[in-house]
Amino acid sequence: MAIDSHSVMLGARLRQRVKQNSWDLDAVLPIDYAISPDIFDRVPREVYTNFCNLLSRDVYSEGDSQPLYDYILTRRDEMSSEFLVMLNLWLKDELKHYQALRRTYHCIAGVSFAEMNRQFADRIHEIEPIKLVLADEFTLLVTMMFDEIGSVYSYRRDLWEYYRHFGAAIQKIGHHLVKDEGMHFSNAAELLLTHHQHRFGEVQELLERISGLEKSLQKYHQTFFLDHVQEQYRFPPQFNSVLIQLILARLGLVQQPDRVELQSLWQWVPTGSRLVPIFAEGHVDI
Ligand SMILES: [Fe+2]
Ligand SMILES: [Fe+2]
C-alpha cells in the first residue's frame, strides 16, 4: 500500500516535470511509405546525395541510445527513481527516432532494413572515451542537456536543408525530431532544477569540460553522447559556447543568448558551401 501511494505521488510529480511529445510513427510515416517519383525529380542531386550521407550516420546514432541506456541501467542503484522514469521515456523516444530514421533512409536511399540491421550489429559502442560524462546522475543530466540541445539545432538545420524537400511526411518527421530533442533537453533541466541545485556551481566548468572532450575526441564512439563530433564542420565555431550559455540560461544561471546568436547556430553557412539554408519565417520553436 505504501509503495502504491509512493508510486502515485512520484507519477504525479513526474507528470508535472517530465514531458513527452506524443506522436504515432505509423500515422506519420508508415513502414511501407513510398516517396512519389516527382519529388525525386524535383530535388537537386546534391541535396539528395548529402541527405543520404547524413541519414547513413544519423540513423545509427539514434539507435546507440539502447547501449547507453543498458550501461546506465547496470548502475541503476546510483540513480534516483525520477531519473530512471525519465530515462525510460527518453529511450522510447530515441528508439522511435531510430525507427523513424530507418524508414526515412529506406524510402529515400533504398537501403533495406536487413542491411541496416547488419550495419547496426557491427557497431562497437565504447564507454571508456566518454567516462567523464558518466560519473553520476548529475553529470549525465548536464551532458544530456548539452547533447539534446545540440541535436535540436542540428535537426533544425537538417530540416531546412534536407527533410522539407522530400514531402509532408518526411518534413513532419524532422519537426518531431526537433520537438522531441527539445523536450529531452527540458526534462533533464527540470530534474537538475529539482534535485541537483546544490551542484549548480559546477555546471559551467563541467560544460566546458564536456565541450573540450567533444573537441578532443577523434571520432564518435557510438555511445549516443557527443555524436556531434562527427559533424562539427557543419556548424559555426561558436556553436558550443552559445549552447553552453543556453543551458546555463535554462537553469536560471545567466541571461539567454540573443535571437540572432541562436539563429546563427542553424543558419550559418560554411565558406564555399553550395547548400544555403532558407531563412524562412515560422521555423519550429522549442
Ligand atoms: Fe533522438
Ligand atoms: Fe533526444
Distance 276 CA to ligand 2 centre (A): 26
Find the domain containing 152 and state its range. Answer: 37-267
Give the CATH number of the domain where residue 195 resides.
1.20.1260.10
Inter-CA distances, 126 with 51, 56, 221, Å: 27, 20, 5
Is position 45 within any domain?
yes
What is the pLDDT, as a whole number, of residue 185? 97
Distance 92 CA to ligand 2 centre (A): 10
Give the Cα-Cα-Cα angle 265, 268, 272 (nearest 5 degrees): 150
What is the pLDDT, as a whole number, of residue 286? 40
User: What are 67's three cell numbers?
Assistant: 547501449
Mean pLDDT of 100-111: 97
Distance 168 CA to ligand 2 centre (A): 22
What is the pLDDT, as a whole number, of residue 263? 87
Number of domains in the chain: 1
More reliable by pLDDT, 200 or 271: 200
Is position 21 within any domain?
no
Ligand of minimum distance to the alpha carbon of 20: 2
Distance 6 CA to ligand 1 centre (A): 31
Residue among 137, 90, 127 nearest 223 (CA): 127
Q: What gap in Å lies between CA 243 and CA 52, rounded to an integer? A: 27
pTM of the predicted model, to two decimals? 0.89
Mean pLDDT of 18-37: 93
Distance 111 CA to ligand 1 centre (A): 20
Distance 28 CA to ligand 1 centre (A): 16
What is the pLDDT, as a whole number, of residue 8? 59
Residues 6+ apart with CB under 8 A from 77: none
Give the Cα-Cα-Cα angle 106, 109, 115 (nearest 5 degrees): 55
Is position 243 within any domain?
yes
Summarised one tens digit per residue, pLDDT across range 167-179 is: 999 999 999 999 9
Distance 200 CA to ligand 1 centre (A): 26
Is position 198 within any domain?
yes
Is position 245 within any domain?
yes
Ligand of minimum distance to the alpha carbon of 184: 2
Ligand of minimum distance to the alpha carbon of 61: 1
Neighbours of ion ligand 1 (CB under 5 A): 62, 94, 97
Is position 260 within any domain?
yes
DSSP letter for 125, please: -
Is position 282 within any domain?
no
Distance 206 CA to ligand 1 centre (A): 23
Is position 57 within any domain?
yes
Ligand of minimum distance to the alpha carbon of 98: 1
